[in-house]
Chains A and B, each alone.
Chain A
Amino acid sequence: MRRIIVALLALVIGIVWCGRPLQARERVYRIGAVFAVTGPAAWLGDPEKKAAKLVEREINARGGINGVKVEVLVMDTQGAPQMAVLKARELVTKRRVMALIGPSRTPTSAAIMKALQLDRVNPRFKVPMVSCAAGRILTQPVKPWVFTTPQTNALAAEAILKYLSGRGIKRVAVVYVSNGFGEDGYDNLKALAPKYGVKIIGTETYGGKDRDMTAQLTKLAAQKPKAIINWSVGPTSVIVTKNFKQLGLDKKGIFLVMTHGQGNIKYVELCGGAAEGVILPAGKILVAQYLPDTDPQKKVLMKFKEDYEKTYKEPVSTFAGHAYDALMLVAEAIEKGKVRPGDGAALRKALETETSGFVGIDGIFHYSPQDHNGLSPEDMVMLKIVNGTFQLTR
């Protein structure tokens, strides 16, 4: 018995010793990143992590911010809310980061926001989070300590509806994946459709692991829509595209509209020809080279695209851009606001007041106390897939 007690005591002391807090003398801007690097959303978290690491190297190569180096600590949420909360807590309390970037998805972001009380004016830990997720819950209404970088589903829905109504397409059907992204997209479409005189005549859903959607598409096509809008991410969008072609719906004069979730040339490659003619709203990174030189984003976009593709030997995606923007916005706020290392509260203030007009990958940001997403519909372009590449369309 005594031995057990001694052993337990030793264990406890060991844990305490390993976990003793880092010394508070901060000579570095320490920023925590939480991404779904593995798990079912790894295709999101992986490019985000790569982009964050790229930006870190770049900032440090030019001497850091205000002469102080930046350190980005990446943690893996595995796409699971509980894991995300733990990792964020570790970064905030043990690693003493002054800001969080990420996570990749809305449920994990919301869980961190709630657990760290970032939706309150005065949380225990004054650490702003710049999330790479787009769900409405994160920014509507504004949460004091939460910012987001991706174009919201609301912006994408608006871009789609504007495009469709501009071509006189008023009867549309919606099919979406039953996860947070899909539901949020559908809610936005439903809310905005009347504004553009568009009528949603049918809705179907599918699961994230479903691999045949012909039943849903057939049911929708029977109601004779002029366009079918698919709101999903990942492989399901490839299957929908292939099934759409297989059913020959394009020949029946129906448009297939995807979303910014397909902002990745891999989507087109996986579809193997079936993606021809698909229309989607997206950030400008996908068509950076086709933008006119007068576009204020062009220089930033081209540089990031070249750096990323040179470093990682894979095509850049919009997801990488979300993480680039998150980290760059934090850096911009630190620089402009002359924020001292470790001062998260000043950083939050600077994000709100000092970064307006920042030219990023996802658009030109205008964070303000009333708007923690800061993008506008002009930051999205409508693309059409022609000959296996993204082309601008109007």
Chain B
Amino acid sequence: MAQLIQYIFAGLTMGVIYALTGVGFNLIYNATGVINFAQGEFVMLGAMFLYTLQEVLQWPPLLSLLLVFLLGGVVGVVFEYTVVKPLVRLGVITVIIGTIGASVVLKGGAMLVWGKNALAVEPLISEKPMAFLGASLNTQVLVVLAVTALAVAVFWYFFGFTILGKAIQACSVNPLAARLTGIPVERMITLSFFLSGAFSALAGGLIAPITLAEYDMGTMLALKGFCAAIIGGLGNNPGAMIGGLLLGVMEGLSAGYLSSGYKDALAFLVLILVLFWRPEGLITRGKGERV
């Protein structure tokens, strides 16, 4: 029993990380229909920013996290203006390649600035793990879980019930119609890049105490975060959260009961099966497509 719970905890630890990255993907996807392969690098930058502010400059943790949030937002906006905007008219594949190029630049830049070694960041509350029925959970995981849930709730309210949020949604569904109804489409898209960058950076800052901060941590995060977003249905934030947690728990269980060597293969196999049978995700209702 304790073992089972421990496997689930292990899964949750990874799961929240996937969930956070998945939500970051969604924020940009919802506004522009673009899949951003540099999303993992946003998270990495967040972890690095926090390292500099909290560990090097010794600023208080909460202030540091707030600054990480804002800095991440700036990164998101700069990213939009330098990478996405010039490319978006050239089609989906070109934008994908462009975001890959940007991820290479960000990764290389981070290597120059922060070096090649992994860096440690202090957790927000305490080093002490929490015990539960003979199993133990890193306290930071609870913090991350709480923040993720809160963020998903806020985004759900924001996109579903506020004028601003609905305006952003409208931009992705039909930019032309949105513009005709007087929505400042450009500004809305910039806002979503700010939100996505800021949120991902915050995510990076939060997970750094669990995973360490490292210049090349982004790729794997992006891959798994992408999985989480797809399992939950692209564009669906609560879906991405559940998808990420599901993915993590599945990995934890397969590491425990099947084979730790094949757990990643299993995760991607499930992803492919989901794509075959329910490409709209496990959580969303299906919808038609314009051609």
Point out residues on A near B: beta carbons under 8 Å.
38, 40, 42-43, 46, 178, 204-207, 209, 211-216, 218-219, 222, 234-235, 238-239, 246-248, 266, 269-273
Contact = CB atoms under 8 A, between A and B. Distances in A.
B264 A207 contact: yes
B10 A222 contact: no
Interface string B124-164: 00010100000110100000000000000000000000000
A211 B21 CA distance: 15
Contact of A214 (B13, B122, B217, B264): B13
B214 interface: yes
Nearest to B129: A246
Nearest to A216: B260
Given A212-B210, A235-B214, A272-B127, A218 B10 contact: yes
B6 A218 contact: yes
A213 B264 CA distance: 13
Q: Which of A212, A247, A273 has the most CB of B within 10 A?
A: A212
A215 B256 contact: yes
A69 to B, nearest CB: 30
Contacts of B212: 211, 235, 238-239, 270
A40 B216 CA distance: 7
B94 interface: no
Interface residues of B, number: 36
A204 B9 CA distance: 18
B210 A215 contact: no
A215 B261 contact: no
Contacts of B13: 212, 214
Interface of B: 3, 6-7, 9-11, 13-14, 17, 111, 116-120, 122, 127, 129, 135-136, 138, 210-212, 214, 216-217, 219-220, 252-253, 255-256, 260-261, 264
B12 to A, nearest CB: 9
Contacts of A212: 10, 13-14, 210, 252
Contacts of B9: 214
A270 B118 contact: yes
Contacts of A273: 127
A206 B252 CA distance: 11
B10 A215 contact: yes
Contacts of A218: 3, 6-7, 10, 135, 256
B252 A215 contact: yes
B125 to A, nearest CB: 14
A205 B10 contact: no
Given A40-B216, A204-B260, A219-B3, A211 B211 contact: yes
Nearest to A207: B264
A209 B220 contact: yes
Contacts of B7: 215, 218
A206 B14 CA distance: 13
B1 to A, nearest CB: 12
23 contacts: A204-B260, A205-B261, A206-B255, A206-B260, A209-B219, A209-B220, A211-B14, A211-B17, A212-B13, A214-B6, A215-B252, A215-B255, A218-B10, A219-B3, A219-B260, A238-B120, A238-B212, A246-B136, A247-B136, A270-B120, A272-B120, A272-B122, A272-B127
A321 to B, nearest CB: 17
A234 B118 contact: yes
Nearest to B122: A272
B116 A42 contact: yes
B10 A38 contact: no
Contacts, number: 86
A234 to B, nearest CB: 7
Contacts of B11: 215
Nearest to B9: A214
Contact of A205 (B138, B252, B260): B260
A206 B260 CA distance: 6
A207 B219 CA distance: 14
A269 B262 CA distance: 31
A47 to B, nearest CB: 10
A312 B54 CA distance: 25
Q: Which of A209, A215, A273 has the most CB of B within 10 A?
A: A215
A235 B3 contact: no
Given A212-B210, A246-B138, 7 more contacts: A43-B117, A212-B13, A215-B6, A215-B256, A235-B118, A235-B212, A270-B119
Q: Which of A207, A214, A234 has the most CB of B within 10 A?
A: A214
Contacts of B138: 246
A247 B13 CA distance: 14
A52 to B, nearest CB: 16
B154 to A, nearest CB: 26
Given A43-B117, A235-B118, A248 B14 contact: no
A219 B256 contact: yes
Shortest 6 CB-CB contacts between residues of A and residues of B: A42-B116, A215-B255, A215-B10, A211-B211, A209-B220, A214-B10
Contacts of B255: 204, 206, 215-216, 219
A207 B255 CA distance: 11
Contact of A42 (B111, B211, B260): B111
A214 B11 CA distance: 9
B120 A269 contact: yes
Contacts of B260: 204-206, 215-216, 219
A266 B217 CA distance: 18
B265 to A, nearest CB: 10
A18 B3 CA distance: 64
A292 B207 CA distance: 44
B6 A247 contact: yes
Nearest to B220: A209
Contacts of B117: 43, 266
